[in-house]
Structure 1
Amino acid sequence: MPDAPPAQWILPTVILETERLRLRAFVEGDIDDVHAACTDPELQRWVPVPSPGTPYTREAAELWCRETTTLLRTSGDGQQWAMAERENGRLVGCIGLLRTLWPAMNTEIGYWVSPWARGRGLATEAAVAVSRWALDQGFQRVEIKAATENAGSRGVAERAGFTLEGVERSAMPLHAGRADLAVYSLLPADLGR
């Protein structure tokens, strides 16, 4: 078994708040909404959860809420937040830092939005909050990667102030085939523009 990551490579458990969202840990009460969101055909088209070619089950939602998100943080991979509406507390999506490269201080943002909350700019609001928080933690590069055909996800990156750098060809396995990924970045210097 690999050694545990150094303590400085584990992000703190924090709650972030925006005008409309509370970004918090996943809880038992989120399981049904996670399952409903992750079985949505449009989400499944672009986010191959739990893995390419594997159907999403209630058990997968339970594992995500009870264990996986904590393990991702304590392994040093990053941090996952439930996107909950501040007004009523309902889960409206997920956003997180992942594939964190600590020696380089680079990390990537991944997100999905529940079908009942799409089209309201919530992912952009969350991406702004998480990316700025990551830069405040000392990260020197924050990325968002989205399938080139996924206009919604690409729009989030652009509205959140990320710069398109290029395309990684055939970089992501989906449930049906593979996708090219548009690569966006945000650097500390970008915030001064």
Structure 2
Amino acid sequence: MKTTVLHTQRLLLRPFTPEDAGAVYRLLKEEETTRFPPMFALQNVEQAQAWIEAHVRGPGMCFAVCADGAPAGYVTLSPGPAWDLGYALAPKLRGKGFATEAAGAVAEEARRQGVPYLTATHDVNNLPSGAVMRRIGMMYRYSYIEQWQPKNVPVTFRMYQLNFALPSDWTYSGYWKQHPRHFLEPVDGFFENGTGVPDQ
């Protein structure tokens, strides 16, 4: 996978650079922004530089979301087998459709690059994130409870999936197998017939 430059109607999505450290620090020092991601709020610009380096050097995609020049959010895509899509935006961009616009553009880029499917998970207390998943075409598959690190708290996650090169009803079962406390919820009616999770 390769992080490219993407343009949407209102956004520029591009790779992060070392010069973005100040903007990343301002974004990720806020508890409101880091409440749900697997990280604590950043304490200084040096930590922001380390965050950028880790994501630029990582094997997946990591896009800076820019609405007016400086990054005000990010969208990530981890490599398989989960192909996990993640995103976070500064509070000033929320509630305006920017998350859907950015996540949808990255999902389409993943499809173009040959990614077979995407998954995404959201904390049950973060309902707006689940709404973004539905708006870009993802469907609920199952829920599970994970001891979320590094915060070391139990979190109930709902997993959504979007298939590109697989049958529409094929479900990635990695999280289901990894976490013994898993179950189905009546979300979006996907499992309204009571069927279980297919094997990977």
Structure 2-normalised TM-score? 0.75
Q: Runs of at least 4 residues of structure 1 off by over 6 A?
A: none
Q: Does 1:157 align with 2:133?
A: yes
- Superposed CA offset, 1:109-133 (max 9, x none): 1111012222111111011111111
Query: What residue number does 1:123 align with?
Result: 99
Q: Does 1:170 align with 2:162?
A: no
CA–CA distance in 2 between the matches of 1:34 and 1:123?
17
Matched residue SS, 2:38: coil
Matched residue SS, 1:46: coil
CA–CA distance in 2 between the matches of 1:39 and 1:20?
25
Query: What residue number does 1:92 align with?
Result: 72
Q: 1:80 aligns with which of 57, 62, 73?
A: 62
Query: What residue number does 2:47 align with?
Result: 60
Structure 1 residue 173: Cα displacement? 3.1
Q: 1:35 aligns with which of 13, 17, 25?
A: 25
Tell me the amino acid that sits aligned with residue 48 of structure 2. A
CA–CA distance in 1 between the matches of 2:121 and 2:27?
20
CA contact 1:173–1:179 (8 Å) conserved in 2: no
Gaps of 5+ in 1: 1-10
Tell me the amino acid that sits aligned with residue 82 of structure 1. A
Q: How many residues align?
A: 165
Q: Identify which of structures 1 and 2 has the higher relative contact order when contacts are C-alpha pairs closer than 8 Å and 6+ apart.
A: 1
- Superposed CA offset, 1:69-99 (max 9, x none): 2211xxx3x11010011xx31312000111x
User: Which one has a bigger Cα radius of gyration?
Assistant: 2
CA contact 2:142–2:158 (8 Å) conserved in 1: yes
Query: What residue number does 1:5 align with?
Result: none
Q: In percent, how many aligned pairs have the same letter? A: 27
Tell me the amino acid that sits aligned with residue 161 of structure 1. G
Computed over aligned residues only, the root mean square deviation of the Cα atoms, in angstroms, reads: 1.9
Query: What residue number does 1:15 align with?
Result: 5
